[in-house]
């Protein structure tokens, strides 16, 4: 019996060793495949957005491969991605990044979901000099650390709601406004807050309520009671999906009247579906909307992407999927311009990226953030019981007029 | 700015009412915890996760087109059986053991429940709509969501029913006897094994009711159970075991404390203040006990 166990152990270790040696030969490029690696949240608290990210990546891989792949040195290559589940845990994500690079021999990385996890992975990719194109880490602190191998296709978090303050000032006849704000205490929301502080300073506006929401919070009645008492011109809330849902629930229940309400994460929270008419007139920051007029040859327009994505995955693509797809387009473009698989050449090519995708224009600033694409704002508008997100700013893409001020609750049916 | 609350008396009224209504709901969860803590000497870390599971039952009904308020009847029934099952699978092995073992075991249950709920219901934050509207007081300057009033009312109703049941029914007497002295109860013919299972079931049922109420008043997410565990732990520590009026009062007190901490210290210290209070109370209790030379049962 004992012998059998020993034999079995030897057998298993032999297999493991062979597998390990095979996988380490899986370098950057395997035959006709360019191998990319990504740690992604398939379980745990970010799992729904993790899946949106993965679907976005997969959709782009399939499309690029089908349309001729990546041409380097006169030969055509296909993309392939190795995924590991990071369980929504930053420590695990960093370990997996190490594993992808050291064991699987991956030379190019795609980002995980969320700023927190990107922050955990970036030092690892930086250490091994692995270029990473990420699509879901917007925190400003990612772009101030001097990372040389990190590129983000999305606009940084501090830009999310700055436009909303400008809009409020514009509606106030160019005069400064009174701002009430409530932000969760996490990297992303605090960056959004910094953006508001900048905008307030620039426009001479005053912040009359500045609440920080703890991350366990699911009741903001006290903040809203204060808002009711001091009557600001604009209320800004950012606390991920929980913040958005809690805010709308309690604003409608407590009948808080504000002329303007600006938020983040409305589409991730499925506000218009979960709260219906109660969420009407809420103004939401978004990285992307299908109605924007950007185009590329792989996905066509935003509308076409929306249609194809629905066909493939059975639901409308949130912006997390669109930006993830765009990350692959950026990689393809960089490989072809570098015309090499040398990591540093690819990195240099990434650095000089200047292109348009269905998701928006992409050009990287010195910190790696995308400086070519503005944030957009949409407003929830309802017809009968059906509510939709309508783009209202910037004016270039606005499909609908911004409705201001929000009618009082006593006048709403 | 910080002391806005003292300038506007209506804010004071609003904060007090919000706090009390929320506190009653916490008290219901805490009562379940006190019950099984008293009877079985188990601190249930999974308490909050049982609450969230109850919430998801109501939410599932809401998705199926049934009004989520019916959850306050359906969720406790389902949760009772979940509780009994949990007892048979895990808890019966840790009753009468070291308190630390029960904390570990229930901590494990909490993790399993979180992951299962995440797997089944997804990681999105969800809400169920009651469409109960709002009650306006004092010329619209104080607004109370009817869903909160409803949840406080239901909590009181169930708590009263439970007290009566514990006093009058056979099982209630058996539970109280077991809590006082399990060995003596056993000698006198009480099937303590059954009593334990029923107690844990009743606790889970109370959590189910609270969860259904939370689905229409607050928000649900697989990982938000822990704050409910901590709050109920705290209420029980303050009120002591087996003392329902004290649990109710300390529940409302905690609700009030949270609301006022929010206004005076700032929203960011709301939960922190609760933890600080917990530390303070534990130290105070310890101090008092060492003076009296008694032991905490």
Q: What is the pLDDT of residue A59?
A: 93
* Residue A6 maps to a domain: no
Residues A111 and A221 in one domain: no
* Residue A195 maps to a domain: yes
Nearest to A45 among B126, B223, B266 (CB): B223
Q: pLDDT grade, residue A84 (50/70/90)?
A: very high
Inspect the interface and report whether the beta carbons of A211 and B266 lie closer than 8 Å.
yes
pLDDT at B297 over 50: no
Q: What predicted TM-score, i.e. pTM, was given to this entire model?
A: 0.82
Inspect the interface and report whether the beta carbons of A223 and B221 lie closer than 8 Å.
no
Cβ neighbours of B277 (radius 10 Å): 18
Instruction: Give the model confidence (pLDDT) of A206-263 as tens digits.
Output: 999 898 888 777 788 888 888 988 899 999 998 888 888 889 988 988 888 899 999 9
Chain B contact set for A185 (CB, 8 A) = 268
Sign of CA dihedral A213, A214, A219, A225: negative
Q: Which of A34-43, B131-140, B240-249 has the highest mean pLDDT?
A: A34-43
pLDDT at A22 over 80: no
Residues A33 and A175 in one domain: no
Nearest to A246 among B15, B18, B219 (CB): B219
Contact in structure between B4 and B260 (CB atoms under 8 Å): no
Residues A139 and A246 in one domain: no
Question: What is the rounded distance in angstroms from the CA atom of residue A294 to the CA atom of residue A90?
Answer: 34
How much is the CA Rg of chain B, to the nearest whole Å?
19
* Residue A16 maps to a domain: no
Question: What is the rounded distance in angstroms from the CA atom of residue A202 to the CA atom of residue A275?
Answer: 34
The chain B residue lying nearest A239, using CA atoms, is: B125
Inspect the interface and report whether the beta carbons of A275 and B267 lie closer than 8 Å.
no
* Residue A5 maps to a domain: no
Inspect the interface and report whether the beta carbons of A270 and B15 lie closer than 8 Å.
no
Residues A205 and A248 in one domain: yes
| Cβ of residue B11 closer than 8 Å to a chain A Cβ | yes
Residues A183 and A267 in one domain: yes
Residues A42 and A151 in one domain: yes
Residues A201 and A254 in one domain: yes
pLDDT at B292 over 70: no
Question: What is the rounded distance in angstroms from the CA atom of residue B135 to the CA atom of residue B150?
Answer: 11
Contacts 24+ apart (CB under 8 A), B101-106: B102/B41, B102/B42, B102/B43, B102/B44, B103/B43, B103/B45, B106/B42, B106/B43, B106/B44, B106/B45, B106/B46
- Could you give the ipTM of this predicted complex? 0.82
Cβ neighbours of B268 (radius 10 Å): 17
Distance from CA of B123 to the nearest CA of A (A): 5
Residue with tokens 């783009």: A391
* Residue A12 maps to a domain: no
Inspect the interface and report whether the beta carbons of B18 and A208 lie closer than 8 Å.
no
Total number of domains constituting chain A: 2
A253 exposure class (CB count in 10 Å sphere: 0-12, 13-18, 19+): buried
Q: pLDDT grade, residue A292 (50/70/90)?
A: confident
Nearest to B259 among A222, A250, A269 (CB): A222
pLDDT, average across residues A276-303: 88
Q: Residue A129's domain spans which residues?
A: 22-155+292-363
Residues A107 and A35 in one domain: yes
Residues A395 and A251 in one domain: yes
Instruction: Give the model confidence (pLDDT) of A44-68 as tens digits.
Output: 878 888 999 999 999 999 999 999 8
| Cβ of residue B20 closer than 8 Å to a chain A Cβ | no
CA–CA distances in Å: residue A108 to residues A131, A134, A342: 5, 11, 10
* Residue A170 maps to a domain: yes
Nearest to A254 among B143, B223, B266 (CB): B143
- Show Cβ contacts of residue A17 under 8 Å, excluding neighbours closer than 6 positions: none
Chain A contact set for B143 (CB, 8 A) = 228, 253-255
Chain A contact set for B23 (CB, 8 A) = none
* Residue A10 maps to a domain: no
Q: pLDDT grade, residue A26 (50/70/90)?
A: very low
Q: What are φ and ψ of residue B134, in 5° steps?
A: -135, 145
Q: What are φ and ψ of residue A204, in 5° steps?
A: 75, 15
The residue out of A324, A341, A363 marking a domain boundary is A363
B31 exposure class (CB count in 10 Å sphere: 0-12, 13-18, 19+): buried
Residues A127 and A177 in one domain: no
Inspect the interface and report whether the beta carbons of B219 and A218 lie closer than 8 Å.
yes
Nearest to A245 among B134, B219, B270 (CB): B219
- DSSP letter for each residue of A85-150: E-TT-HHHHHHHHHHHHHTS---EEE--SSHHHHHHHHHHHHHTT--EEESS---GGGGSS--SSE
Residues A151 and A163 in one domain: no
Question: What is the rounded distance in angstroms from the CA atom of residue A152 to the CA atom of residue A134?
Answer: 5
CA B32 to chain centre: 6
CB contacts < 8 A, A to B, total 111
Residues A392 and A343 in one domain: no
At A299, which CATH number? 3.40.50.2300
* Residue A219 maps to a domain: yes
Inspect the interface and report whether the beta carbons of B267 and A214 lie closer than 8 Å.
yes
* Rounded percentage of chain A residues whose pLDDT exceeds 90: 40
Question: What is the rounded distance in angstroms from the CA atom of residue B278 to the CA atom of residue B2?
Answer: 24
Question: What is the rounded distance in angstroms from the CA atom of residue A26 to the CA atom of residue A28?
Answer: 7
A323 exposure class (CB count in 10 Å sphere: 0-12, 13-18, 19+): buried
Q: What is the pLDDT of residue B181?
A: 86
Chain A contact set for B116 (CB, 8 A) = none
Q: Which of A16-25, B9-18, B124-133, B182-191 has the highest mean pLDDT?
A: B182-191
- Show Cβ contacts of residue A336 under 8 Å, excluding neighbours closer than 6 positions: A70, A71, A72
């Amino acid at each position: 019996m004992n012998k059998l166990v020993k034999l079995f152990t030897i057998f298993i270790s032999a297999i493991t060793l062979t597998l390990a040696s095979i996988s380490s030969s899986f370098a950057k490029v395997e035959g006709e495949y360019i191998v990319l690696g990504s740690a992604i949240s398939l379980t745990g608290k970010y799992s729904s957005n993790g899946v949106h990210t993965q679907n976005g990546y997969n959709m782009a891989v399939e499309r690029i491969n089908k349309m001729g792949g990546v041409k380097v040195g006169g030969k055509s290559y296909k993309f392939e991605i190795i995924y590991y589940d990071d369980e929504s845990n930053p420590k695990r994500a960093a370990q997996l990044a190490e594993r992808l690079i050291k064991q699987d021999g991956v030379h190019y990385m795609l980002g995980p979901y969320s700023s927190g996890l990107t922050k955990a992975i970036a030092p690892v990719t930086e250490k091994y000099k692995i270029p990473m194109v990420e699509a879901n880490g917007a925190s400003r602190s990612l772009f101030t650390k001097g990372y040389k191998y990190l590129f983000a296709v999305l606009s940084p978090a501090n830009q999310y709601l700055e436009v909303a303050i400008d809009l409020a000032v514009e509606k106030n006849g160019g005069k400064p406004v009174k701002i009430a704000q409530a932000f969760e205490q996490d990297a992303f929301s605090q960056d959004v807050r910094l953006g508001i502080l900048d905008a307030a300073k620039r426009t001479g506006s005053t912040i009359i309520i500045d609440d920080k929401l703890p991350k366990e919070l699911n009741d903001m009645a006290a903040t809203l009671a204060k808002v009711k008492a001091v009557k600001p011109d604009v209320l800004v809330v950012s606390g991920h999906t929980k913040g958005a849902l809690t805010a709308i629930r309690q604003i409608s229940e407590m009948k808080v009247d504000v002329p303007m309400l600006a938020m983040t994460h409305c589409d991730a929270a499925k506000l218009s579906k979960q709260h219906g008419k109660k969420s009407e007139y809420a103004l939401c920051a978004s990285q992307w909307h299908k109605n924007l007029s950007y185009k590329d040859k792989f996905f066509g327009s935003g509308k076409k992407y929306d249609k194809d994505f629905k066909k493939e995955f059975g639901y409308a693509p949130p912006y997390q999927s669109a930006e993830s797809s765009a990350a692959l387009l950026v990689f393809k473009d960089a490989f072809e311009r570098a015309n090499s698989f040398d990591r540093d050449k690819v990195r240099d090519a990434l650095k000089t990226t200047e292109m348009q995708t269905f998701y928006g224009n992409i050009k990287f600033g010195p910190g790696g953030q995308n400086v070519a694409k503005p944030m957009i704002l949409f407003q929830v508008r309802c017809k009968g019981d059906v509510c939709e997100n309508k783009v209202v700013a910037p004016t270039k893409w606005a499909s609908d007029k911004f409705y201001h001020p929000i009618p009082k609750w006593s006048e709403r049916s | 700015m910080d002391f806005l609350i003292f300038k506007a008396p209506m804010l004071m009224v609003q904060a007090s009412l919000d706090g009390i209504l929320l506190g009653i709901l916490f008290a219901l969860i805490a009562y379940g915890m006190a019950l099984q803590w008293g009877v079985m000497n188990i601190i249930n870390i999974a308490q909050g996760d049982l609450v969230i599971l109850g919430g998801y039952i109501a939410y599932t009904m809401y998705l199926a087109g049934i009004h989520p308020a019916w959850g306050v009847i359906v969720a406790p029934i389902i949760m009772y059986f979940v509780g009994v099952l949990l007892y048979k699978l895990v808890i019966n092995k840790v009753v009468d053991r070291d308190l630390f073992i029960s904390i570990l075991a229930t901590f494990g249950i909490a993790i399993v429940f979180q992951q299962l709920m995440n797997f089944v219901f997804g990681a999105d934050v969800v809400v169920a709509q009651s469409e109960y509207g709002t009650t306006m007081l004092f010329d619209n300057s104080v607004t109370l969501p009817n869903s909160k009033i409803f949840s406080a009312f239901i909590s009181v109703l169930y708590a009263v029913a439970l007290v009566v049941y514990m006093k009058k029914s056979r099982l209630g007497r058996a539970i109280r006897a077991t809590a006082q002295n399990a060995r003596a109860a056993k000698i006198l013919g009480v099937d303590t094994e059954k009593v334990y299972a029923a107690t844990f079931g009743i606790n889970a049922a109370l959590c189910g009711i609270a969860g259904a109420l939370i689905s229409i008043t607050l928000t649900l997410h697989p990982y938000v159970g822990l704050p409910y565990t901590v709050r109920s732990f705290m209420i029980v520590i303050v009120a002591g075991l087996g003392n329902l009026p004290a649990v109710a009062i300390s529940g409302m007190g905690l609700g009030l404390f949270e609301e006022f901490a929010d206004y005076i210290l700032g929203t960011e210290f709301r939960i922190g203040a609760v933890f600080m209070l917990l530390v303070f109370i534990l130290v105070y209790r310890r101090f008092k006990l060492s003076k009296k030379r008694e032991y905490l049962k």
